[in-house]
Chain A
Amino acid sequence: MSAKPIPVPAEGKRLDWHLSHPYSARHVAIALLLLAVILVTGHRTEMDRMVVMTGEAAGNLLGLNDDSQVVRGLSRVASAMWPPVIASQEEVGRLPELNRDRLPAFARIEVQERVVQTLNHETLQLESATSQVEYLVNPLGYLWTVLVKMLETLEIAIWGTLLSVALSIPLAYYAARNYSPNRATYTMARGTISLLRSAPELIVALFLVLAYGFGPIAGVLALGLHAAGFLGKFYAEDIENADKKPQEALEAIGAGKVKTLWYGVMPQVAPQYIAYTLYILDRNLRMATVIGLVGAGGIGQELKGRFDMFQYGHVATILLAIFLAVFLLDQFSARLRARLM
Chain B
Amino acid sequence: MIRFDCISKVWPDGTQALRDISLHVPRGQFCVILGPSGAGKSTLLRAVNGLMQPSSGTVSIDGVALTTASERALRKRIAMIHQHFNLTNRMTVAANVLAGLLPAVTTLRALSGWFSPEQRARACRLLDQVGLSPAHLQRRAGDLSGGQQQRVGIARAFMLDPEVVLADEPVASLDPKISRDILSLIRDAARERNASVLCSLHQIDLAREFGDRIIGMRDGKVVFDGTPAELSDQRVEALYQGAQWEDQEPANPAPMPDQLAAAC
Contact = CB atoms under 8 A, between A and B. Distances in A.
Interface stretch (B55-63, B98-106, B214-222): B98-106
B139 interface: no
B80 interface: yes
Contacts of B86: 245-246, 248-249
A268 B80 contact: no
A262 B111 contact: yes
Interface stretch (A20-28, A70-78, A250-258): A250-258
A256 B102 contact: yes
A250 B79 CA distance: 10
Contacts of A251: 51
Nearest to B87: A246
B110 A259 contact: yes
B82 A263 contact: no
Nearest to B166: A252
Contacts of B160: 253
Given A4-B13, A270-B90, A253 B79 contact: yes
Given A253-B103, A263-B110, A245 B84 contact: yes
Contacts of B80: 249, 252-253
Contacts, number: 86
A248 B110 CA distance: 17
Given A5-B38, A245-B86, A259 B102 contact: yes
B88 A262 contact: no
B206 to A, nearest CB: 22
B182 interface: no
B71 interface: yes
A275 to B, nearest CB: 14
Given A4-B11, A249-B86, A267-B90, A254 B99 contact: no
A1 interface: yes
Contact of B103 (A246, A248, A255, A268): A255
B42 interface: yes
B15 A255 contact: no
Given A4-B11, A245-B84, A263-B102, A253 B76 contact: yes
A264 interface: yes
A271 B142 CA distance: 15
Given A253-B160, A264-B88, A248 B99 contact: no
- State the majority secondary structure of interface residues on A: helix
A254 B76 contact: yes
A246 B88 contact: yes
A253 B87 contact: no
Nearest to B168: A1
A248 B51 contact: yes
A243 B103 CA distance: 21
Contacts of B79: 253
B72 A254 contact: yes
Interface string B42-54: 1000000101000
B198 interface: no
Contact of B42 (A1, A4, A271): A1
B122 interface: no
Given A246-B87, A258-B107, A264-B88, A253 B75 contact: yes
B61 to A, nearest CB: 13
A260 B107 CA distance: 11
A99 to B, nearest CB: 56
Interface of B: 11, 13, 15, 38, 42, 49, 51, 71-76, 78-80, 82, 84-91, 95, 99-100, 102-103, 107, 110-111, 153, 156, 160, 166
11 contacts: A245-B86, A246-B86, A248-B82, A250-B99, A250-B102, A252-B49, A252-B166, A253-B76, A254-B71, A264-B88, A270-B90
